[in-house]
Amino acid sequence: MSAAAADASSDEARLERVRRQLSDAGQLHLLDGWPSLSGEQRVRLLRQLERIDWPGLSAAVRAVMSGQPPRLGEGYAPPPASVRAGPGGPRDSELRAAGLAAVAEGRVGLVLVAGGQATRLGATGPKGAYNVGLPSGKSLFQLHAEKALRVEAMAGGGPGRIAWYVMTSDSTGPATEALFRGAGCFGLRPDCVRFFEQGSVPCVDTDGRALMAGPDAVQTSPDGNGGLYRALRESGALADMRRRGIACLQVFGVDNILTRVADPLFIGHCLLERVSMAAKVVERTRPEERVGVVAADTASGGYRVVEYSEMRPEDAAAREPDGQRLLMRAANICQHYFTLESLESVCQPENEVRLLPYHAAKKKVPYWDANAGQMVHSPPTENAIKFEKFVFDVFPAAGSSFALWEAARSEEFSPLKNAPGSSSDCPETCRRDVLELHTKWLLTATSASSLGGSRRYAEVSPLLSYAGEGLEGVDLSGNPPEGLLFVD
């Protein structure tokens, strides 16, 4: 058999395997246009179809069509006090020392979840590149990087103590890497920063049929922050963590401008308590807040996160017997801790399938209309279902080896989610929260009642102070030190 004939036979075998998978998944219509495709288009479509998890998609579609969202049901309760801790206690010095020692020894890694675009903010490119209007003009990426640099300095060393793993998506990957490289990795050691891409999953219509993005492409969307585990495994990043001798990692989302990156207190607490997984939370105070809550899973004895969209209204609004605080108030802010062993376990294919179901959301999604031979770019109504996995769905695997670290919202949580001018979680509120926090640091450190003159607010560079430390000698009446900017 000639080489050309062998290649053709191989392609036919691949096509037949895909055809069987599509048939089993009820998605055979994706090959309706195959006869009219060019050779190049066939190669492109076949390659994409082979990469898709069709059994997983089928399970997600069945769950949605049956009206039973994945992993929902009764059996959750507020987490007990025994699993909760937070800053401001008598052990703070001990915890901080433990966290900084781990950093100094190169045992701490960071996973930055940064696959989102800034389209909802009216901008193009990765969300991490967005500047909320701080006096320094720094982006989220730069702020996060400089916080880690400060922790490395506090631990007694220069850049390179902390390894970074940045998860992007197919829409943000090249731009994110170019931004980091162009900015000299914002001071981080380039050989300690590794980029990898999350996967994608087909969008389906309201009947469960996968949509096309063209005659030779399936319409997909990123598989959510829960795509982290497969991406870590398949990219080789997980093996790299083992090679570097990393013992534990902080996983965090890019959009919280107040994130305490490589938080020594949080990491130190988890290390000394010997937990395998942990979540940092803030108190949820409004029933309508669009944030999930960490809960005790009464069925398994472990812990889980119940998303805001998956809570009954009466559960979201339930309060303590005295009517004051919400009953389910441990708001998840996408800052998680894993030991490397626990991360390696949940990244295994069999555990990933068992622990990570797809969650569904109805959206307006552009699609290829095969009958008309053109794209429908602006559907008039929500025409499709997007599926995604959530990073926190692996928490039940920790069992009782789990901890909650409750931080103050004003100090550690100000997400960037909405367009400029929105009432909350927007560039203006992020800027306000940073300036108010940093001004509080300065006034507390200097025992001053105001910043003086027309100086109403201040921005403190992360390179100058991580959480308000080291500001005692600042002279508010003179020229500010490098890294301190005032604004009226």
Q: What pTM did the predictor assign?
A: 0.89
At 44-60, the pLDDT tens digits run 999 999 988 888 888 88
Pairing mode, strands 248-253 and 330-339: antiparallel
Calpha distance 4→257 (Å, rounded): 55
Q: Is 283 exposed, middle or buried (0-12, 13-18, 19+ CB in 10 A)?
A: middle
Q: Is 4 exposed, middle or buried (0-12, 13-18, 19+ CB in 10 A)?
A: exposed
- The pLDDT, as a whole number, for residue 8 is 57
Identify the H or E element spanning 444.
helix 427-446
At 388-418, the pLDDT tens digits run 899 999 999 999 999 999 999 999 999 999 9
At 51-91, the pLDDT tens digits run 888 888 888 888 777 765 444 346 788 999 889 999 999 99
Calpha distance 415→409 (Å, rounded): 11
Q: For residue 362, what are the β-bridge partners?
A: 385
Domain ranges for the chain = 3-51, 76-416, 418-488
**76-416 belongs to which homologous superfamily?**
Spore Coat Polysaccharide Biosynthesis Protein SpsA; Chain A (3.90.550.10)
Lowest mean pLDDT across 1-15, 27-41, 395-409:
1-15
> What are the φ/ψ torsions at residue 177 (nearest 5 degrees)?
-65, -40
Pairing mode, strands 220-222 and 200-202: antiparallel
- The pLDDT, as a whole number, for residue 189 is 96
- Kindly state the average pLDDT of the residues 224-245: 95
- The pLDDT, as a whole number, for residue 219 is 95
- The pLDDT, as a whole number, for residue 133 is 96
Buried b (16+ CB within 10 A) or exposed e, 391-403: bbbbbbbbeebbb
**Is the model more confident about 482 or about 139?**
139
Cβ neighbours, 10 Å, residue 13? 10
Identify the H or E element spanning 112.
strand 108-113
- The pLDDT, as a whole number, for residue 74 is 65
What mean pLDDT is reported for the chain?
Answer: 91
Note whether 331 and 305 are within 8 A (CB).
Answer: no
450 pLDDT exceeds 60? yes
- Kindly state the average pLDDT of the residues 317-329: 92
Q: For residue 163, what are the β-bridge partners?
A: 109
